[in-house]
Structure formats: structure tokens, C-alpha cells
Homo-oligomer: A and B are copies of this chain.
């Protein structure tokens, strides 16, 4: 069976890049931490466990390459650090985030909620949308005073 790694390897080859051991180790870390919004430093520390000889600059270069190929999304929550997420396979758009002002948790929303809004923007501002970033800041269900319910699982 073709694994996710195999498909990423193909994507690299299609763009004339190789899946070097360092790159593969980096991708494996990202696969093992799909929802964790790791910073470059985080990735570096984790990758060092499975490929101790790797350099921080290589991690940065690899993440940049993967971002260019749209295999990962580079995100920025305004804390001065870029974070990297593996993009959902086949997803045309970036997913959205819920950032809790209380506990700092970052939850993800996979659905595209913006279809209607995008139609308005494209028409009204004559702007051809390629991608979007949407983040909500507020209080998550865990931090509500009482009677907080866990939301239904992402559809």
C-alpha cells in the first residue's frame, strides 16, 4: 500500500527534489504530531531523537520547502514564532483555528466555513482568492465556567 510518506516522496520528485534521510525524518515527526502546531525549534528537538546529526538550518530549509510545495501550512499566531502543520491531503484551503485566550489551547476547524463569504469578496472587491487564514480568539469549551460541553467531533 502506498503510504503518506510515499506520496510526499512523489510530490518532491515531481518538483525535482529528493526525499533525503533528513527530510524524511522531518516529515515523520510532522506525521506523528499532526495536530500539534509545532514550531521549527519543536520539530528540530523532536527530529534530533530519530536523526541526531540533523542541523537546525536543515529543519528550517525542509519546512520551507514543504511549505512551498503546499505539503505543510506555515501558521502564525502572533507570538513571534512560525508553526508548521501537515496539510490535509487534497485540501485546497487552509484550515481554521480557535485560540483560547484563557488557556492558550489551539483547536482546529477542518470545514470550510467561508464559501459564501468568499463569493461576496471575489465579486465585491474584484479579488481572486487563492487561500485564506481565519482565526478566532475567545474562550474555549474547557475554560467556560460551568456546564461546559465538549463540542461534537470535527466532521
**A interface, CB within 8 angstroms of B:** 74, 76, 78, 82, 98, 100-101, 107, 109, 113-114, 116-118, 120-121, 124-141, 144, 148-152
Contact = CB atoms under 8 A, between A and B. Distances in A.
Q: How many copies does the complex hold?
A: 2
Contact of A132 (B120, B137, B141): B137
A132 to B, nearest CB: 5
Contact of A125 (B98, B120, B128, B135): B98
A130 B149 CA distance: 19
A133 B135 contact: yes
B124 A129 contact: no
B124 A133 contact: no
A2 to B, nearest CB: 31
A130 B99 CA distance: 10
A139 B124 contact: no
Contacts of A107: 125, 127
Contacts of A148: 126
Contact of A141 (B118, B126, B144, B150): B126
B137 A133 contact: yes
A41 to B, nearest CB: 15
